[in-house]
């Protein structure tokens, strides 16, 4: 008989938690980004481009604005998956309201800095978004625009954020066990919570009214090899994630062995099969991608974190 996933005595099963209507509410944002956005939106000299550039670094605000712009109230003809398009579509007043009402992740779900800092988590998400956007440029048959791939990469770990809000003690236990094993976090999530962050993230994005073209690849990015359907984008998310870990940009709570090489991974083989003739070979693509993402830490270094983590 299969062993049931272990649960802390006082912790409701994750299925019960995500069935609560409150679970699909807006997730918190990174404090330093919210504070900077509040400063920018209060200035009459700030441009839309400056605001959009910073919103692109926060998956929570991005999800909120995409949800609003795709809601029945606005009813766009086609789903809006571009962050700048959503900002223009909604207008500055609506965007400012979204920023002013944002909760802060540091106050909502504090976790020990020795396990993971929220700054490093946000940093990892943005780097994966840029990496996935870059990789998508070499696809033979991309299904979405490069900006939509950016959003997909930005959201790839949003399930961890949802789990941290829904069940902070459970999330902390998962981080502790993953750190003790020095392995990948997804199997630990399934063992302890019954679902991994990929499934929780896809569920959350579905609740926001975002299209399957965005969240289905996220759902499969840790289990794409078991899927009977198209897997190119799910494998590409996993490859982008591995490359960012290779670059040591930020952190996501998972670990890879010292001798691990993404260039020998199944994800790389799938990507090569779906890439066009212009795609550089390994390791040239790695170097090219590094030049695309190496500036990301500087974006976060320019923010005032005030010792938050």
Is residue 9 one of the residues assigned to a domain?
Answer: no
Mean pLDDT (the chain) is 89
Q: Label residue 136 by pLDDT band (50, 70, 90).
A: very high
Same domain, 160 and 215: yes
Same domain, 44 and 122: no
Same domain, 36 and 180: no
Same domain, 192 and 288: yes
Q: Label residue 19 by pLDDT band (50, 70, 90).
A: confident
The domain spanning residue 272 has which CATH number? Answer: 1.10.3210.10
What per-residue confidence (pLDDT) applies to 303? 82
Q: Which residue in this structure is represented by tokens 């840029």?
A: 130
Same domain, 202 and 280: yes
Same domain, 163 and 286: yes
Q: Please give the Cα distance from 174 to 293 (Å, whole number).
A: 28
- Of 65, 100, 135, which closes a domain? 100
Is residue 1 one of the residues assigned to a domain?
Answer: no
Same domain, 134 and 283: yes
What are 53-95's pLDDT values in tens digits? Answer: 999 999 999 999 999 988 866 677 788 888 999 998 898 889 9
Q: 257: burial class by Cβ within 10 Å (0-12, 13-18, 19+)? A: exposed
Q: Which residue in this structure is represented by tokens 């902070």?
A: 168
Is residue 117 one of the residues assigned to a domain?
Answer: yes
What per-residue confidence (pLDDT) applies to 92? 86
Q: 16: burial class by Cβ within 10 Å (0-12, 13-18, 19+)? A: exposed
Is residue 174 one of the residues assigned to a domain?
Answer: yes
What per-residue confidence (pLDDT) applies to 3? 47
Is residue 185 one of the residues assigned to a domain?
Answer: yes
Is pLDDT of 228 > 60?
A: yes
Is residue 15 one of the residues assigned to a domain?
Answer: no
Is residue 196 one of the residues assigned to a domain?
Answer: yes
Percent of the chain with pLDDT over 70: 92
Same domain, 206 and 133: yes
Is residue 6 one of the residues assigned to a domain?
Answer: no
The range of the structural domain enclosing residue 77 comes to 31-100
Domain count, the chain: 2
Same domain, 262 and 287: yes
Partners of 139 in the β-ladder: 275
């Amino acid at each position: 008989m299969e062993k049931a996933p272990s649960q802390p005595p006082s912790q409701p099963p994750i299925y019960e938690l995500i069935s609560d209507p409150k679970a699909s509410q807006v997730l918190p944002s990174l404090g330093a980004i919210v504070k900077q956005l509040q400063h920018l939106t209060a200035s009459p000299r700030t441009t839309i481009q400056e605001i959009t550039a910073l919103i692109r670094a926060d998956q929570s605000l991005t999800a909120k604005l995409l949800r609003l712009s795709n809601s029945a109230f606005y009813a766009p003809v086609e789903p809006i998956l571009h962050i700048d398009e959503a900002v223009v579509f909604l207008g500055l007043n609506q965007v400012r309201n979204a920023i002013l009402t944002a909760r802060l992740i540091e106050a909502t779900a504090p976790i020990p800095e020795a396990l993971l800092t929220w700054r490093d988590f946000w940093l990892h998400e943005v780097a994966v978004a840029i990496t996935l956007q870059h990789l998508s440029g070499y696809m033979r048959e991309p299904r979405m625009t490069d900006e939509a791939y950016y959003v997909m990469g930005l959201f790839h770990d949003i399930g961890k954020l949802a789990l941290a809000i829904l069940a902070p003690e459970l999330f902390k236990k998962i981080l502790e066990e993953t750190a003790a094993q020095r392995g990948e976090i997804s199997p630990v999530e399934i063992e302890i919570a019954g679902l991994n962050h990929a499934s929780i993230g896809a569920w959350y994005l579905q609740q926001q009214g975002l299209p399957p073209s965005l969240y289905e690849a996220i759902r499969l990015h840790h289990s794409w090899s078991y899927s009977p359907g198209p897997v190119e984008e799910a494998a590409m998310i996993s490859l982008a994630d591995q490359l960012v870990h290779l670059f040591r940009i930020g952190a996501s709570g998972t670990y890879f062995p010292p001798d691990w090489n993404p260039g020998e991974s199944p994800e790389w083989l799938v990507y090569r099969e779906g890439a066009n003739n212009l795609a550089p070979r390994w390791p040239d693509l790695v170097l090219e991608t590094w030049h695309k993402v190496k500036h990301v830490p500087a974006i976060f270094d320019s923010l005032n974190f005030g010792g938050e983590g």
